[in-house]
Structure 1
Amino acid sequence: MLNPSRWMPLLGLWLIAIPVHAENMDDLIKVLQDGDCRNCRLADADLVHADLRDADLRDARLQRANLGEAQLDGADLSGANLSFTSLRGASLRGANLEDSVLHGTDLRNADLSGARLSPNALEEAHWQGAKGISSGIQSHAALHNAGVEASQSGRWSQAEQLFSAAILRSPEEPLSWVARGISRSEQAKDDLASQDFGYAALLFEKQGAEGWAEQLNQAADSISSRRYQQTTKEGGSGVGNQILQGTINGLRMLAPLAAKALIPLGLGL
């Protein structure tokens, strides 16, 4: 049970000063009062900075709630609906999130040290910058989608690392090799990018996708040509560079679309 001394002196002022739009105000008061509110209806609640340490929020309806920077250490959120909920910067050390719905949930910069999560729970959540995530929780799709998000923000080095991690999870998935090749090409790592595209082509060919295999082989050859042109100082405006740019632009469009097809993210990329 929560310590009333933490909230009672300010509860009345808090409810007056902050526009709260919880699904059920009685449930909101109950969870702030004693922390025992299983099955609470708290959709759309504004609980920024709330102190809910050790709170019993099992099966709570918290979709679209704002729990940014809230204190949720030791809280039981098992089975809770956290769809599109903001937990950005929240402390969830030792919290139980097993079987909770994390569709579009914002966990960026949250502390998940010791938190209990179901396998692949983060596939549809945003967790960039979160710390304390246990090894193995991040699935191939979650890592790949995080790489796509990083690449769309121009953070190519981080994207490369995320795609590399995704490849370790599922080395037979060609899309992650394509995406890493794009991120490496953007960093002028032409030899490595060419190798990624070439290997992705082999994987697509095994799957019977000969069209994609051919385009990837062309991309690999084009990057090799660019490398040669740069070495011989012939690059910059040649036909080879134009072909390369067209090919890379096509592949750049493929990776985000493929990630969405694998695991649609609620907030979009």
Structure 2
Amino acid sequence: MNPSRWMPLLGLWLIAIPVHAENMDDLIKVLEDGECRNCRLADADLVHADLRDADLRDARLQRANLGEAQLDGADLSGANLSFTSLRGASLRGANLEGSVLHGTDLRDADLSGARLSPNALEEAHWQGATGINRAMQSHAALHNAGVEASQSGRWSEAEQLFSAAILRTPEEPLSWVARGISRSEQAKDQLAEQDFRYAAVLYEQQGADAWANQLYNAADSISTRRFEPTEQKAGNGLGNQLLEGTINGFKMLAPLAAKALIPLGLGL
């Protein structure tokens, strides 16, 4: 790490920015030396920090704010990044293998060439992130990303994510139900009906006859609605309306994994 990048600003940085790092000596060391294995940097405010090629193996970075930080080539293997904000950060070629990404905010980050452990993104927030290798996106991670998109009303994006989740694990009925709801919210009634019927078949195969029957009823209602005169249709959103009194649409749009919900207002 080239000291000329930070030395003129280090003093001003520490004065101007309200830093609350777990250990100030470790914070200074990482800024000065670009390496601080096992650093205690929980709660540190490192927005826009230049930490390219930094050695942060096994660092404690819980709840730290690294929004838009430069971390290209950094070694963060084994680091605890629980509830850390890396929104908009550049992590090109970074090593994140074995790191804890519980509730980590990776939205809009650049992960091109980054190394992650299998299924590492299941408990992280990565909407808008670029450079994510398809192999990193497990069924649960894709489904959970679809849940987040749907909760924000981004139904088209949710549909695409649920479709990708289905391609990963087509035998999971929950993703078919979720996609059916997202399609119904876009008035794609025929496609939504098909998704509900197929999900019902999958639940039948699992012995969950009550849920299967409720989905068949929802599909029948959508089918009836499709042939109503346009002026009689209630508009979009039929999927949740139909399911609310039966299997509860929002319950069906639950994450597949125990995903932590970081306060997404944190950071920039």
* Residues 166 and 176, structure 2, Cα contact 8 Å, conserved in 1: yes
The answer on 1:66 being equivalent to 2:49 is: no
1:43 corresponds to which residue? 42
Change (3 A) 1:230 1:136: farther
Distance, in Å, in 1 between the alignment partners of 2:241 and 2:50 is 53
Distance, in Å, in 2 between the alignment partners of 1:108 and 1:235 is 37
Query: Helix, strand or coil: the match of 1:166?
Result: helix
Compute the displacement of 1:247 (Å). Answer: 2.0
* Residues 222 and 244, structure 1, Cα contact 8 Å, conserved in 2: no
Change (3 A) 1:235 1:94: closer
Query: Helix, strand or coil: the match of 1:30?
Result: helix
Deviations 1:28-49 (A, max 9, x none): 0000001110000000000000
* Residues 102 and 259, structure 2, Cα contact 8 Å, conserved in 1: no
Distance, in Å, in 1 between the alignment partners of 2:45 and 2:234 is 54
1:255 corresponds to which residue? 252
2:206 corresponds to which residue? 207
Change (3 A) 1:256 1:234: closer
Pairwise CA RMSD of aligned residues?
1.9
Distance, in Å, in 1 between the alignment partners of 2:239 and 2:161 is 24
Change (3 A) 1:135 1:234: closer
2:102 corresponds to which residue? 103
Query: Helix, strand or coil: the match of 1:203?
Result: helix
Equivalent positions of 1:227-242 (< 5 A) are 227-230=226-229, 234-236=232-234
The answer on 1:155 being equivalent to 2:142 is: no
Listed as ranges, the gaps of 5+ residues in structure 1 are none
Distance, in Å, in 2 between the alignment partners of 1:178 and 1:111 is 31
* Residues 122 and 257, structure 2, Cα contact 8 Å, conserved in 1: no
Change (3 A) 1:48 1:268: closer
Compute the displacement of 1:266 (Å). Answer: 3.5
Change (3 A) 1:244 1:155: closer
Deviations 1:43-74 (A, max 9, x none): 00000000000000000000000000000000
1:226 corresponds to which residue? 225
Instruction: Indicate the larger mover: 217-226 or 246-255.
Output: 246-255
Listed as ranges, the gaps of 5+ residues in structure 2 are none
Compute the displacement of 1:223 (Å). Answer: 0.3
Distance, in Å, in 2 between the alignment partners of 1:80 and 1:213 is 44
TM-score (norm 2): 0.93
Higher relative contact order (CA 8 A, sep 6+): 2
Deviations 1:151-206 (A, max 9, x none): 11111100000000000011000000000000000111101000000000000111
Change (3 A) 1:265 1:245: closer
Letter in 2 for 1:4: P
Q: Give the paired residue count.
A: 261
Change (3 A) 1:52 1:235: closer
* Residues 181 and 239, structure 2, Cα contact 8 Å, conserved in 1: no
Query: Helix, strand or coil: the match of 2:122?
Result: coil
Deviations 1:244-269 (A, max 9, x none): 76423354222233x1x533324289
Change (3 A) 1:34 1:247: same
Change (3 A) 1:245 1:27: closer
Q: What percent of counterpart residues are identical? A: 79
Compute the displacement of 1:230 (Å). Answer: 3.2
Change (3 A) 1:179 1:236: closer
Change (3 A) 1:13 1:114: same
2:123 corresponds to which residue? 124
Letter in 1 for 2:108: N
2:262 corresponds to which residue? 267
